[in-house]
Structure 1
Amino acid sequence: MKKLSIFRRLFILLFGLSISAQAEDLSYVRYGTENIDGLNIFYREAGDPSKQAVVLLHGFPTSSHMYRDFLSELGDEFYLIAPDYPGYGYSDKKSVKEYTYTFDNVAETMNQFFIRRGLNNYVIMIQGFGAPVGFQLATKHPEKVAGFIVMNGNIYGEGLVKETIEFLKEELTPENETKKMKTDFSLKTLKWQHTHSTRNPKAINPDA
């Protein structure tokens, strides 16, 4: 009986250590939401929060979905977190009367999101629309930004195409705004942005 008791104690101890080791493995991708001023902001994260944080700011016309492979591959080395902006992905989509959709405001929402998540020092990875959001964060809170990973993110006028600059200079009216929205946000245009210049369009994940 005494030997059985010792055996059982050792089994429980080893089993407990195994469970503990599994619980400490945070490299897998996890999902959640944070409520920021009445907005539910969806996010994906991977890695141990005690490691160097890298915030992944998505571009247009995407969401945090674009970073799914980064999260699954690098969660063992860094703490990665990828939120969806308001109006994108799984985050709340408020009307323009309820939320001001400007880069300044989105950047402030992201700042509040990172504060809620306990992030005070992070590297910013940016692409497309993520550039003006990320650079606004860095301008207003430089003490929090440890560095940048930039993928085709514009910070200068020359980086914008002529058509975009001309549209920005136009007086905004319901007519030209509606015309631009119908063109840029049509399903045909969104598919083109994902598949243009790709060697094998059939390899593009339709989940995007």
Structure 2
Amino acid sequence: MKTLGILAGGMLLAAAAQAAPLVATHASTTYHYVSVDGVRIFYREAGPKDAPTLVLLHGFPSSSREFATLFPLLATRYHLIAPDFPGFGQSDAPAPDAYAYTFDHLAETTDGFLDALGLRKYALYLHDYGGPVGFRVMLKHPERVTALVVSNANAYTEGLGKKWTLIGEYWKDPKAHPEVFETFISPAATEQRHTAGTSHPEKYDPDAWGDEIAHLARPGQREIQASLLYDYRTNVAAYPAWQAWLRSHRPPTLVVWGKNDPSFIGAGGEAYRRDVPEAEVHLLDAGHFPWEEQVDAIAGYVLPFLDRHVR
């Protein structure tokens, strides 16, 4: 009878445990909006709010969703904020006649977003389009930047892959090279940004590029993305200024770069050492979105790096 009582009690405890709600941890992500100059900006947040902040800036044609697998691993020790730029993800996408889609303006809105959240000290995680946005924010507020993490966010001409030769022709005369933009936003190119060069295709979630293809098909997206692709020429022109800033301020810098990326090739990751000799550089067996293939490795580099420099 005593044994039966113990078993019954254990079953009751197990049932109670199953019925009890799960307690949220710091790794739980929450989703928010804030208005910046009349534009509603969506952002993801996770981690303890009293911990140092890491702001993650996404690339084309994605959104803060691209960091979804990385968030739970980093949020155990750090406060994470990841916004969607205007025209991307869940943020507003005003028509181009109501919002100028330039990298200067995206950076201005991002700076206003950080101000709206009261963030005065933060590390930056830059990827792809997040690079030119982040560099503009850093140049404006160098005193706020505690550290820099870079994944395939280019700041050096040697980091530009072969396709940028054709894009350079598009910059000279967009009307003469419409095929460059059509290729740039095509479903095939959208998928290949994820899968090109991978040796582990089974690690890639097709929903990632499926969602991006659907997003690019929304009304107004062609005009938005054409404006940004054309304006990207201002980023290449700004590379010397960004490099000078790195030499002058030498922020703690970690580079975790997908070396198989055909767009921003591995030489672009290595080049950060030129201006920040102390930079920690890791070229990973991965593509343009390296955490899709190497999320554990990247978290394994980012956490101790932040522990050393910002905690």
TM over 0.5: yes
1:131 and 2:131 aligned: yes
Partner of 2:173: 172
Deviation string for 1:124-168 (max 9, x for gaps)? 001111111111110111111111001122112222235425533
> As a proportion of its length, which structure holds more helix?
2
SS of equivalent residue, structure 2 residue 106: helix
1:94 CA drift (Å):
1.7
The CA deviation at 1:58 is 0.8
1:89-144 Cα deviation digits (max 9, x unpaired) = 11111221111111111111111001111111000001111111111110111111
CA distance in 1, matches of 2:66, 2:149: 15
CA shift at 1:54, angstroms? 0.2
Separation of aligned partners in 2, 1:134 and 1:155: 11
Residue in structure 2 matched with residue 152 of structure 1 by the alignment: 152
What's the secondary structure of 2:190's corresponding residue? helix
Q: Which residue of 1 aligns with 2:93?
A: 93
2:118 matched to which residue of 1? 118
Q: Determine helix, strand or coil for the equivalent of 1:138.
A: helix
The one-letter code sitting in structure 2 at the alignment partner of 1:122 is Y
Provide the residue aligned with 1:50 in structure 2.
50
State the alpha-carbon separation in 2 of the partners of residues 134 and 200 from structure 1: 30
* Residues 57-116 of structure 1 deviation map (CA, whole Å, 9 limit, x = unaligned): 111232111111221122220100111111111111122111111111111111100111
Q: Which amino acid aligns with 2:156?
A: Y
User: Following the alignment from structure 1 to structure 2, what is the Cα–Cα distance between the partners of residues 172 and 35?
Assistant: 36
Q: What residue in structure 1 maps to residue 8 of structure 2? A: none
* Pairwise CA distance, 1:175: 4.6
- Shift in CA distance, 193/173, structure 1 to aligned 2, threshold 3 Å: closer
Aligned to 1:193: 193
Q: Tell me, what secondary structure is at the counterpart of 1:207?
A: helix
SS of the aligned residue for 2:41 comes to strand
Distance 1:42 1:172 in 2: 34
Q: Verify: 1:60 aligned to 2:60, yes or no.
A: yes
| Structure 2 gap ranges (5+) | 1-22, 209-311
Which consecutive unaligned segments of at least 5 residues does structure 1 have? 1-21
Instruction: Name the SS for the 2:69 alignment partner.
Output: helix
Other-structure match for 1:4: none
- Structure 1 CA distance, aligned partners of 2:201 and 2:27? 31
Count matched residues: 185
Distance 1:163 1:201, change over 3 A: closer
Which residue number corresponds to residue 261 of structure 2?
none
Task: Name the aligned partner's letter for residue 137 of structure 1.
Answer: V
SS in 2 for 1:88: coil
Could you tell me which residue of structure 2 aligns to residue 10 of structure 1? none
- Give the structure 1 partner of residue 224 of structure 2: none
After superposition, what is the alpha-carbon deviation per residue over 1:164-187, rounded to whole angstroms, capped at 9, x for unaligned?
2553364334453x4322110111
Give SS of 2:206's match.
coil
Please, what TM-score do these two structures have when normalized by structure 2? Answer: 0.56
Give the partner amino acid of 2:168: L
Alpha-carbon distance in 1 for matches of 2:163, 2:189: 15
Letter in 1 for 2:204: I
2:166–2:180 contact (8 Å) kept in structure 1 = no
| Compared CA separation, residues 172 and 96, structure 1 to 2 (3 A) | farther
Q: Counterpart of 1:148 in structure 2: which amino acid? A: L
Following superposition, the deviation at residue 194 of structure 1 comes to 1.1
Separation in 2, partners of 1:55, 1:137: 12
